[in-house]
Structure 1
Amino acid sequence: MAKDPKPVDPDKMSRTAQFVETFKMARRTDSRLVPWLLGSFLLGAAAGFAVFWLLLPTDGVIGVIVTVVSALLLGILLAMIVFGQRAQKAAYAQMEGQPGAAAAALRMLRRGWKTDPVVAFNKQQDIVHRVVGPPGIVLVGEGNPNRLRQLMTNEHRKHERVVADVPIHEVVCGNGEGQVPLPKLVKHIQKLGKAVKPAEMTDILNRLKALDANRSNIPLPKGPVPTSMKGMRQNMRGR
């Protein structure tokens, strides 16, 4: 019996391969993806053709060619914007409820943020992730809120001992009262304010290394690993 192909690391995939994999993932979850893309392309192209036809001199073949090409580019741009939005929604839907889903979502944070997945967990697979960025330190928990309370309190105290002068925030990812839904997690963290300057990040990260070095070498929690969002993130940024 042939073995299943080994998953390819998105970091090692070409831009085209990342786009194809993102499209396949989104289409499995979003059955209306293709009609939305086709409709947005036609709408963008039609609007672009009308605008450029009125604004540009269309006398001669060159004017017509410029108008048509510009309209097609506008249609492609609008389709890519719609694709990015629906692909992101599909990715969140696919990850919802999986252990480590919050860690995968946190990869959407841009430059200036440092994410450390699974800094603490228990045998029931309640997990705490850590994000360091402009707001300070953000402890992100996912799992049972009652069990997470003690787990996050312990982590808060540990971090407070080594970075007492840095704000420490606690966020629980979930759909319950007082929790932050997975699709809104990144924006919620970004809105926590700015208390740490970029020049202070190095010192904070060095102090956290000392904390992490004293942790027990325990295995990571078992469970499905969410699909990486890095390929989708790069496609959305146009890189």
Structure 2
Amino acid sequence: MARDKSKQGRAAQIIQTYRLTKQSDPNLGWILLGTFAVVGVIAFAVLFFVLQGIVFPIVFGILFGTLAALMVFGRRAQKAAFAQIEGKPGAAAAALGMLKRGWKIEPMIAFNKQQDLVTRLVGPPGIVLIGEGSPNRLKQLMSSERRKHERVASETAIHEVYVGDGEGQVPLRKLGKHMTKMKRTLKPAEMTDVLQRLKALDANRSAVPLPKGPVPTSMKGMRGNLRGR
């Protein structure tokens, strides 16, 4: 019974993801149907020619068509999700929510009145300070945060990443991949100590209100929905 409820829950999540994606991608249904049909027919034709039968080509044609449609759905759903959060405060933290285990995200550790903000990511590359907003205004904010982090974690590599489509910036949709490609300098056993030091740093920050405006939620749930977990 519990397993049936779990399957129903996953199905509901996939349907919800489809509906949300279709809002910004109206032709999604036709694209998925076309992908299923084209790939399914090609797979059927190839297997029919090789096996000289009818049952297995039909079965595998359906399987290959479904798999291709799911892959296209996943990519378009992810693209739509990025389009919905891009430009909103905290978009970087939401995008980084798709990273697997072994990363610690702390959104909005610093910001200003113009809603330029800094998100912190701790993981295999060390400490990564991620700036969102105007590059010129962010320089002072990022420099201040770097000095604070160097005082409590001087032996840990500290990186600065600016989110955007300009020169020297990392597009939001490529942010997660950019992080995973960075050189690994922090071992899992060392991460606990670094996080404890940063916890002490954060405890000394003055309590100030978060910037106004919608803050997008993590995209990790969408990744799980598309994987059926």
Q: TM-score, normalised by structure 2?
A: 0.90
Q: Distance in 1 between matches of 2:49 and 2:123?
A: 48
2:3 aligns to what? none
Q: 1:15 and 1:158, CA in 2 relative to 1: closer, same or farther beyond 3 A?
A: same
Q: Is the 8 A contact 1:26 1:90 kept in 2?
A: yes
Q: Alignment partner of 1:108: what SS?
A: coil
The two structures, once aligned, show a CA RMSD in angstroms of 1.8
Q: Is the 8 A contact 1:41 1:76 kept in 2?
A: yes
* Aligned-residue identity in percent: 61
- Would you identify which runs of 4 or more consecutive aligned residues in structure 1 move more than 6 Å? none
The Cα offsets for residues 10-52 of structure 1, whole Å up to 9 and x where unpaired, read as xxx9322321221112111112212221111112211222233
Q: Distance in 1 between matches of 2:225 and 2:19?
A: 14
CA offset at residue 173 of structure 1?
A: 0.6
Q: Does 1:87 align with 2:82?
A: no
Q: Distance in 1 between matches of 2:101 and 2:113?
A: 33
2:4 aligns to what? none
Q: Does 1:45 align with 2:40?
A: yes
- Structure 2: gaps (5+ residues): 1-7
1:99-110 matched pairs, under 5 angstroms: 99-110=89-100
Counterpart amino acid of 2:224?
A: Q
Q: Distance in 1 between matches of 2:13 and 2:218?
A: 10
Q: Is the 8 A contact 2:99 2:220 kept in 1?
A: no
CA offset at residue 225 of structure 1?
A: 2.3
Q: Does 1:233 align with 2:228?
A: no
Task: Provide the aligned length of Structure 1 versus Structure 2.
Answer: 222
Q: Alignment partner of 2:69: what SS?
A: helix
Q: Distance in 1 between matches of 2:108 and 2:135?
A: 16
Q: Alignment partner of 2:114: what SS?
A: coil
Q: Distance in 2 between matches of 1:51 and 1:112?
A: 43
Q: Distance in 2 between matches of 1:237 and 1:168?
A: 33
Counterpart amino acid of 1:37?
A: L
1:133-144 matched pairs, under 5 angstroms: 133-144=123-134
CA offset at residue 184 of structure 1?
A: 1.3
2:148 aligns to what? 158
Q: Is the 8 A contact 2:14 2:226 kept in 1?
A: no
The Cα offsets for residues 202-224 of structure 1, whole Å up to 9 and x where unpaired, read as 11111111111111222221101
